Every structure is written in structure tokens, then in C-alpha cells.
Structure 1
């Protein structure tokens, strides 16, 4: 959401008396709980994967350090709206989505170094964005730390149902570091696919300065939904995540 990243440098530090202290070794791009699509795309070669192919043409990067919600909802609106038929009609961009919703709160949260959105904000932003572009869809949200019915089994069942067609899609609000092994903070991205045989989810991460889409175990992602934002996340401190399910009516 708000990315206060620093690159890890492989250098030695010196103490006051000149003794060397080894710096932390550089981290791999992804930790053990994430597999990039560049290394594993077998599922996409054998399964229909309707959501992945529907989302891919509209897959974009977040335009600021805090615009993951804005990028994710823009992807959702474009995917469900489809390619406009007429030459004069543009695709939905992050900027014209903000213009269409006229939401000053969201614009401030999604600005560079903005606070980022809460889970409740994401749900509201999704609903108002669909309405702004006349997309007749139902928005349902669930937050495991607050909803006793939002269990891991329920999440798996919804992922499986969502994988059946491109008439619905899911956004997840999750702790990115639980999955990637790096930055510890809240993040939003769409779900691209669910491989039930391996119980893995494909996250179409909009943090494209750093990542490509990656697979992670459903259980790992569920833990990322439950992890509270750490104390350095300002107004989002303690915020937990969940999923937003959008279904065309």
C-alpha cells in the first residue's frame, strides 16, 4: 500500500574501531512461499483459466507508491466492462477512474506516499467504481478476522467457484510480505487463477516495479489476509485484510 522500501546492499559496515560487520546478504526476489509465473505456468497451458485470460489484457501497475487499490479496481472495471466497441471510447485508467468517482478521499489515499485504503474503503471504492461505469454487478466482501464464516474452507470454495468463469473476479487485501518474504504491510491485487489440484492461488500483483504474477498456497494467502498491519503503517496500523468478490448480475 505505502511502499517504504530500501534496497538491500551487499556491503560491510565498519564499527568505530574499524572492525568489519557483515551486512545482511541480499534477499531473493521472492521467498519460499511464492513462485513467479515465469518459473511455473503449466496450469495456464492446460486449464481454461478464464479469469487469467480476461484480466491479462488489462493488467496494469500501480501508478504511485500507494495506488494498489486504485490499480486493482481499475483492472476489475476494465475486465468486467470489456474492450469498448467504439474508437472514441478509452479504456479505464487510474486517473479517469478517480475523475469518474469524484472521490477526494480515495485520491488522497492513493497519491504518492498516501496513507492507502482500509479494507472497508476498498469495498466502497469497488462498488462506486462499478456504478460510475454503469457495470451492473454485485460486490460482496469478507474479512476473516471479523467474520466467523470467512474461513479457509470458505475461501477455497469461493476460489474454486470463481475459477469457473470470467463473469466474476476477486480482489484480495493482504499482507504482501507474508507471501513474498519482503515488505511487511497491506496490499491489494486481483486473483488471476486458482489451481485446485495444487491448492495454489495466482496473484496478479500490481506492484509491478518489483514483481510479476506469482503463485502461493491458499493457506499462505489466508494467513496474509489475517495479519494485522504493523505499527509503522500509520492510520492502517492493525488493519487486517480479506477478499472482495465481484459478480456480474
Structure 2
């Protein structure tokens, strides 16, 4: 019923090899590169505006677009504290992860959710005396035909891949292509999930639709604010952008963006404890 993806490769390459690398990066899951000129017809109006006129300073290396509110700003903090739908924030923030490489957004997002769910944790190679879900060990029990560390490090994961990979763990997994949802249905999923501390919404989206620099990406949603009709995106590429409040209509448009690998829209994966 559904699927997705995103990524990026990079490096100091020249000539033809450089062109091939950039083209490949644009097809995948966490690709931080902006869309190619040929994709302009699918871009958001925000993407066409010069960054100098559409951004303001923030606490990350890239400025936050003016249509977004950083959680570190007073307005962002007030929005979180006043929201009736902020229960996902507390467990997710406790286990926040920054992705290990530029294609591991799906892995970092998943590890945050698995640890936050409080399910039985596996033995950890990082912390031998303390069971813990980690990006380093994420693929240990996953069928390599579904997803493997080497390939994901280059290409990231589609919606179908991440959904199947998470199905390896003792959690309930539901995936939703944004193209199968109306805006109201999408909003209801976000609102109802963020009202829970034991269920999390993992968003696959394209950055350009929310005014940011980059391609496809994964990050969890941690809260919803009714007054501003916005959701809090806990960006796992923290070296690039801080956590931000994004208007739900823009998140919906970003999730509807077609994944060039699967040929389908992006969307949401909802994970919860299997007992729920």
C-alpha cells in the first residue's frame, strides 16, 4: 500500500565523475544536495527564492528559513510548552541522535524511536554492559536483502525499506504514502501520534518544499501546535539544521514529493509498541 527514499554521496571529485556522483546523490534518501535544474517544475515556490532574503540566523551552520521557527527561539519554546500534543517530544528528545553519516537519517530516526519506545534493548557493541539500540548495530538482525549498512551508507532507505527493516523489531509499523492521504488525514495522523508518548511519527520528506537546502530526508515529528497548525521536526542532521516548527501544509507538500528511486510519494511511518 505504500513506500519511499532519500540520500547523498559527496567528495572532492572532478570532471565526469563529479557529475555522476551528484546525479546519483539526488536519487536517494538523505541527499543534502538541492534539486537539479531539470526538477524545477516540482519544486516549491520557496526554493526559487534567494536564501539571503528567505532566512534568518539560527544555532546551526545553515540559517533557518523565515517560514520556520527554531525550537531554540523563545517563540519555538513557548509553542512546545503550550501545545496539548507534545507527548512524543519528551521520550524522543531523551534519546536524540545525530545521524552518523549523511545517508543515515533513516537509521538515526529509527534508533531514536526504538529506544524511546522502551522495548527490550539488544546487546550493544558500543556499551557492552548496557543494552541499547544504536546506529552502529541497527542492521545486526535485519535481512541484508531488505537493507544493509554498506548500501544504506551510500543511498539511504526508501519508505518500504525502512518499514520492512523496522518490522524486524518487536514494534507495530504502519506506513502511509502522502499521496494516499488528504491534508486533513495527514494532519490527524501527526496530531494523534504526537499526543502519545508510546507512538512516534517518522517523516520522509523533501527539504526544498519547506524552504531548506537539500534533498530527501527522514526525521521524527515530536509535537503539534493547533494555533499555528505546525509540527515540530527533530532534525537528525543536527550539524545542518536545528529542530524546527514547520507548517503542516508544507510538511504535507514535502511528504508528497515523489521519491525518484521508488517513483512514489514519500510520507509517514508510524511505530508503536506491539502491545499497543
TM-score tier (shorter): 0.7 to 0.9
Residue 89 of structure 2 aligns to a residue in which SS? helix
Answer with 1 or 2: which has the greater Rg: 1
Within 5 Å, which residues of 2 pair with 1:1-249?
1-3=6-8, 28=55, 29-39=63-73, 40-47=76-83, 49-81=86-118, 88-101=129-142, 103=144, 105-111=147-153, 114-128=154-168, 131=169, 135=170, 137-145=171-179, 147=180, 150-183=181-214, 185-229=215-259, 236=261, 238-248=263-273, 249=276
- The Cα of 1:127 is off from its aligned counterpart by 1.6
Q: Deviations over 1:196-215 (max 9, x none)?
A: 22210100111111011101
Residue 232 of structure 2 aligns to a residue in which SS? strand
TM-score for both structures, normalised by structure 1: 0.77
- The Cα of 1:82 is off from its aligned counterpart by 6.2
Distance 1:37 1:223, change over 3 A: same
- The Cα of 1:102 is off from its aligned counterpart by 5.2
| Alpha-carbon distance in structure 1 between the residues aligned to 2:259 and 2:174 | 22
Bigger relative contact order, structure 1 or 2 (CA pairs below 8 A, ≥6 apart): 2
User: Are the counterparts in 1 of residues 200 and 270 from structure 2 also a CA contact under 8 Å?
Assistant: yes
Q: Deviations over 1:33-90 (max 9, x none)?
A: 3221112210222346211011001111110111111111111111102697x99323
The runs of at least 4 consecutive aligned structure 1 residues that moved more than 6 Å come to none
Distance 1:54 1:82, change over 3 A: farther
User: Are the counterparts in 2 of residues 64 and 110 from structure 1 also a CA contact under 8 Å?
Assistant: no
Distance 1:25 1:164, change over 3 A: closer
Q: Where does the alignment leave 5 or more consecutive residues of structure 1 unmatched?
A: 7-23, 231-235
Q: Where does the alignment leave 5 or more consecutive residues of structure 2 unmatched?
A: 1-5, 11-31, 34-49, 56-62
Aligned length: 215
| Alpha-carbon distance in structure 1 between the residues aligned to 2:7 and 2:190 | 27
